[in-house]
Amino acid sequence: MRSSGGLHFKTYLLIFMMVIFGPLGNVLLGKGMKRIGTASMGTPAEAFNLLSRVLSSGTIWLGIGSLITFFAAYMLVLSWADYSYVQPASSVAYGMVALLAHFMLREVVTPLRWLGVLIICLGVLVVGHTPPRTTEPSQ
């Protein structure tokens, strides 16, 4: 198992990108879908109509672009770091989602929900003190 500074640096850099672009993508998708509103998908025509409205929304496409950036960083980091390390470490993104939802979408986040976010961040801190790889790299 390698635990050099370089391995940790690129791991943290890509996780940082995940923390920024993942939540931003979700918030943009939420904003776009709220504009489109709930719609019936009972018939193929209704489903097609909804899909065309989704695909013609600039906000949705910005969200998709952010999520693609997130996904690229995610795949790269998974090429050397454990899934069970990366997934919890990226959970600080939940705090970012709450912040962005509060400030960008004016969603009300209750004190109990903020406490939950704080505990999530504490969990991330604990996970961050474990080695990023426990399996042998493939050749």
Does residue 27 touch other proteins according to CB under 8 A?
yes
- Closest by CA position to 116, among listed 138, 98, 129, 101: 98
Among 11, 29, 66, 70, binds other proteins (CB under 8 A): 29
Q: Within 13 Å and on the Cβ side, how many CA atoms surround 71? A: 8
Least separation in angstroms between CB 6 and other proteins: 10
Binding residues for other proteins restricted to 1-20, rule: CB under 8 A = none
x/- track of binding to other proteins for residues 41-80 (CB under 8 A): -------------x-----x------x-------xx-xxx
Among 36, 49, 61, 69, binds other proteins (CB under 8 A): 36
Least separation in angstroms between CB 70 and other proteins: 12
Distance in angstroms (rounded) separating the CA atoms of residues 39 and 81: 41
Distance in angstroms (rounded) separating the CA atoms of residues 97 and 101: 6
For every residue of 68-101, DSSP letters joined together read HHHHHHHHHHHTTS-HHHHHHHGGGHHHHHHHHH
Distance in angstroms (rounded) separating the CA atoms of residues 115 and 3: 33
Contact set with other proteins (CB under 8 A)? 23, 26-27, 29-30, 33-34, 36-39, 54, 60, 67, 75-76, 78-80, 82-85, 87-88, 91, 93-94, 97-98, 100-102, 105, 107-130, 134-135, 137-139
